[in-house]
Amino acid sequence: MNSFLMLLSLLLHGVSFVVIFKLYQKVQNINSSDAYFEQKVKETEDMLNSYLLEIKDENEKFIHKVSKLETSDTDTFNHDKVDSKTNDDYEKINQEDQDDVPVNMEQPSDEAQILYLFDQGYTIEEIAKKLNKGNTEVDLIVKFNQKIHY
């Protein structure tokens, strides 16, 4: 009878060790997936921060161009002429910043153009220059697309 109880005890101990080991593995998997998720969140935040910094830089350049135009116009014209002149200058600035490709309904989206050029072997800088976009914007679109498809 003692040997039977001893055998039953060893069997129960073995089963409990296996169960504890399996639970330990599950906890480790959860911890590693949490760390992976936190890493991806940090990468996404970093990309968005860099994108926002580039937008801020572009906005400052635009404000500088506009203020330069306004100061040159106010020195030479009266108030009525300044308003019409600055509106023309704003249109010139917007035309300079727009793409050289004619606008029509069949033109692919910026994202599609970026991905097409990237697949053709263009670098991010070349694509940004060709489409008059920021390097970070092009880089983000390429990275987000790669993460979605892989």
Residue 13 lies in a domain: no
Does residue 21 belong to any structural domain of this protein? no
Distance CA 126, CA 1 (A): 84
Instruction: Please give the residue that has the higher pLDDT: either 42 or 86.
Output: 42
The amino acid occupying position 144 is F
> What is the domain count for the chain?
1
pLDDT in tens, 46-84: 888 888 888 888 888 888 888 888 787 665 554 444 455
124 domain residue, yes or no:
yes
Q: Does residue 47 lie in a domain region?
A: no
Structural domain for 139, as ranges: 108-149
CB-side neighbour CA atoms (13 Å) of 49: 6
In-domain check, residue 86? no
Is the confidence at residue 42, as pLDDT, over 50? Answer: yes
Residue 15 is assigned to a structural domain of this protein: no
Q: List, for residues 123-143, the tens digit of each pLDDT value.
A: 999 999 999 988 888 888 888
